[in-house]
Structure 1
């Protein structure tokens, strides 16, 4: 990964940004004078987590908390603009991160994403938006940290009760502070993005979204499609896809089992990965076990009671990202031998991080899901290995938080040129979800990456295709394949496999 540096000091960073801010933007393709809400901009040295730094601007706009409630509170939406190096730029690219709950500007500091935006800004400005309620925006609707009960993972009933209790307490805290959670929706955030576009003086923008960010992108296309030049939707979530299908998760462990049975490192030790998982799971369902972890932030040793829900949740986290596939067989083999303490490494961060921002809850609940899809998923869960994939919504958390649950949304139709990207080993957003959304995108290409998990944008090969597509090139003939999953024989071995 190459970081192109053209400034030698913080002083020169500030000078350049102030000069750029004072210069009329009409020379760039697709830009006009700003007409949006009041805008403040300041020089900003944007730094990746690996220490690389680039010149940037940090901007803020003030918008209504609820546009349908005139005279109410306002909120501040923050963003970072990475200035292009092009003399005649293409329309700017707006980055929409996943979640909901991930600040776009923070996500872009991850080195592999920093590299992606460095590549894109060769031709376009890049706008990294911290959605309302997150990151540098204000207010930030985080939940206060508190120790979870030690029987959190003992049963599904206990997990659900604690989740509803925590979600309701967080929502209540912000409501008492005067926050209207009904203002935290994908529709309001899409309008925020369009207000940023207008305030910066851009006539059109291109969109780049990942996971939930693809849903936000669809909402923007539906509300402001005439302002979109091109769009890239990677790991696609449709308007009715908050409800996961248990069969998708069961199929992934079956597919991983196919690779595990042929992996030389395992030497035939796991001929049936799904069967091994079921055996261990059934044992924990019948007889929960105790696991020692360290409770944060007190750093005190505590003992968790762990039943089947604990293993299911740990497996879901490992199966959600191709970079953590590698140790799944070794974990299950150790558990099958009765070495239950190995669960500590998986459950300790899940226990200590057991919270969800009120913003994320509000956005998900407001979007909601068709009642029929939840009913179908419930029927399919009977006997499924991953029967609890919708537990957070089945628990009644939306009602507990006092947030109205939506019923999903209509499909989007647009002729904006769009690149869809999916991975064949992605359980969060499997390729068929992208195809369902793509039905309303007649001018589109779908890049399906063999052996890719939920995150494929870190791949240099994928980044090159994204940059070419945004530049207007035809990428319909492009093909990318990741290596097949590789597995570790022991838990101490480094993780590998596809992203």
Structure 2
């Protein structure tokens, strides 16, 4: 549990540095949040101004929001800036858990700052305050990936037009602008250096801060790494992790007999759906809806589950039920897929702007056509189809190439994370001579590595400025849900 003197420390410990710049219109006010176990965190909430386009510092501005909680350490290191993932998650909300975590407590090492990135949470613009952009597709018919892409593109185009007319061109919502916001926050608070802490999209943003503003960063702990040219996933990677799941299932005596060939079973189910979609009835508001489940729906469901440690433990049993003719588990999922919604203009713009290099885009197109990759590129849908209508532009190949960076970085990967696999780090590691790579066996995209005492000790040492080494850590293997159905024999 976090030290009980947090409240007493807050008033004395938190104030803008004497070097803080009023040119950012910095405003501070008391702020209280509640962490794990209901522990009270007393700090400050602030607002500051940044250019809508950092390339035009005299142009329109955005007001961004952040929170800052004081360290429990009497001799803290540089403040730790929490970079939320998504993109689109609230740094103000999501920094609280890591700040006061039960195992790895960031407040033991430095002040913790959570920034609501442009277009998220309490920062401008408030995309949630605008109209909803939704299309309900017919659940009783099957749609191709291209058809869904066209429908999404039209929807995103309407949203982009609305926000452009409101003064917020989505062309200004990209990771380079976002990284400039992070450095502007550092300067607004008068901080010489900060520590970066983020995962998934937070790592993607952190890498751009390191590329563009390295002098302001003391060190960075980046997990589940999305490199500068890794926003769109490779179909071959998804296939590799599907095959890895099959191997894990075969090695589990609790499910191996009932599911000896998971990959082969998936292939048969996809062929079956290509020939004849499955009909499922789903109850909505007292009405029975007829829902057709397509091969694309199954591909998408499996692709979304791969890499999530808490999802893959359910997957073999679900696939076994499908093979036995019980498609009920796909009804609600498929129905939700027929509802197309612009979930976050900020998220769409950020991902579209990061995009992919010509080489990677060509590789994805080539691999999605390869029948050996059973799930094609379902993991990427509906990208990149909706990007042209988004108007996000492109960050350019200099962004995607990365750059040499001398800042110490601790990269963290999980071996069952299909979204941001260890290979992502290996691909960019040459640019970071002071970096180490911690690989967590059996960890997925979720941060379950914090359950490992060895990992927590290593992360603490790194955050304290100590040298650490690359290492592979062992976490428990996933325990699959028992398979209670009997597979139909061909």
Cα offsets for 1:445-495 (capped at 9, x unmatched): 110111111123662333432222010123216542111122112489xxx
- Cα RMSD (Å) of the superposition? 2.6
Residue matched to 1:489: 482
2-structure distance, mates of 1:477, 1:376: 30
Could you tell me which of 94, 101, 116 is aligned with 1:130?
Answer: 116
Between the aligned partners of 2:92 and 2:287, the Cα distance in structure 1 is: 34
Is 1:215 matched with 2:204?
Answer: yes
TM-score using structure 1 length = 0.88
CA positional deviation for 1:293: 4.0
Q: Is the 8 A contact 1:34 1:202 kept in 2?
A: no
Distance in 1, matches of 2:13 and 2:475, equals 41
- Equivalent position of 1:465 in the other structure: 458
The offset of 1:163, in angstroms, is: 2.0
Give yes or no for contact 1:421–1:449 (8 Å, CA) kept in 2.
Answer: yes
Change (3 A) 1:286 1:394: farther
- Looking at structure 2, the residues matched to 478 and 421 of structure 1 have their Cα atoms a distance apart, in angstroms, of 10
Q: Runs of 5+ in structure 2 lacking a partner?
A: 486-490
Which residue among 307, 315, 324 is the counterpart of 2:311? Answer: 324
Aligned to 1:380: 367
Distance in 2 (alpha carbons) for counterparts of 1:37 and 1:257: 54
Displacement of 1:192? 1.0
Per the alignment, do residues 25 and 223 of structure 1 end up closer, same or farther by CA in structure 2, a change over 3 Å counting? Answer: same
Structure 2: distance between partners of 1:474 and 1:387: 41
Partner of 1:273: 262
Report whether the alignment pairs 1:480 with 2:473. yes
Alpha-carbon offset, residue 18 of structure 1: 4.6
Q: Residues 9 and 70 of structure 2 are in contact (CA less than 8 Å); yes or no, is this contact kept in structure 1?
A: no
Deviates more, 1:311-320 or 1:469-478: 469-478
CA distance in 1, matches of 2:332, 2:404: 45
Q: How far apart are 1:145 and its partner, in Å?
A: 5.5
Q: Are 1:139 and 2:138 counterparts?
A: no
- Cα offset, 1:72, TM superposition: 3.3
Structure 1 residue 68: Cα displacement: 2.3
For residue 329 of structure 1, report the CA deviation from its aligned partner. 0.9
Q: Say whether the 8 Å CA contact 1:310–1:347 is kept in structure 2.
A: yes
What is the distance in 1 between the residues matched to 2:457 and 2:74? Answer: 21
- For residues 345 and 187 of structure 1, what CA distance do their matches in structure 2 show? 38
TM alignment of 1:410-489, pairs within 5 A: 410-456=401-447, 459-461=450-452, 462-476=455-469, 479-489=472-482
Size of the aligned set, in residue pairs, is: 475
How far apart in 1 are the matches of 2:340 and 2:167?
26
User: Are 2:5 and 1:6 equivalent residues in the alignment?
Assistant: yes
CA distance in 1, matches of 2:11, 2:2: 22
SS at 1:115 equivalent: coil
Assess, with a 3 A threshold, how the Cα gap between structure 1 residues 79 and 153 changes in structure 2: closer, same or farther. farther
Would you say the 8 A contact 2:81–2:194 is kept in 1? yes
Kindly indicate whether the alpha-carbon contact (under 8 Å) linking 1:208 and 1:232 is maintained by their aligned counterparts in 2. Answer: yes
- 1:416/1:255 CA distance change after superposition, 3 Å: same
Q: Aligned equivalents of 2:43 and 2:283: distance in 1?
A: 40
Superposed counterparts of 1:186-265, under 5 Å: 186-265=175-254
1:150 has 2:141 as partner: no
Q: Secondary structure of the equivalent of 1:76?
A: strand
Q: Which runs of 5+ in 1 are unaligned?
A: 8-12, 27-31, 493-499
Maintained 8 Å contact 1:368/1:405 = yes
Q: Give the drift of 1:88.
A: 2.3
SS at match of 2:383: helix
Does 2:355 match 1:368?
A: yes
Distance in 2 (CA, whole Å) between partners of 1:95 and 1:130 is 10
Shift in Å, 1:377? 1.5
- Contact kept? 1:371, 1:407, Cα under 8 Å: no
- Identify if the C-alpha distance between structure 1 residues 96 and 4 changes in structure 2 by more than 3 Å, giving closer, same or farther: same
What SS does the corresponding residue of 2:134 show, helix, strand or coil? coil
1:42 and 1:59 in contact (8 A); partners too: yes
Shift of 1:162: 2.5
**What CA distance in whole angstroms lies between the structure 2 residues aligned with 1:181 and 1:193?**
19
Label 1:247 to 1:113 Cα distance change in 2 as closer, same or farther (>3 A): farther
Quote how far apart the aligned CAs of 1:55 are: 1.1
Cα 1:291/1:106, change in 2 over 3 Å: farther
Deviation at 1:301, TM superposition (A): 5.7
Q: How does 1:92-171 map to 2 (within 5 A)?
A: 92-109=79-96, 111=97, 114-115=100-101, 119-142=105-128, 144=132, 146=134, 148-151=136-139, 154-171=143-160
Does the 8 Å contact 1:240/1:369 carry over to 2?
Answer: yes
Deviates more, 1:62-71 or 1:276-285: 62-71
Q: In structure 1, what is the Cα distance between the partners aligned to 2:344 and 2:234?
A: 24
Q: How does 1:284-295 map to 2 (within 5 A)?
A: 284-293=273-282
Q: Deviations over 1:134-177 (max 9, x none)?
A: 01112123471635213486432332222222222221221121
Residues 65/25 of structure 1: CA separation in 2 closer, same or farther (3 Å cut): closer
**Is the 8 Å Cα contact of residues 95 and 126 (structure 1) preserved in structure 2?**
yes
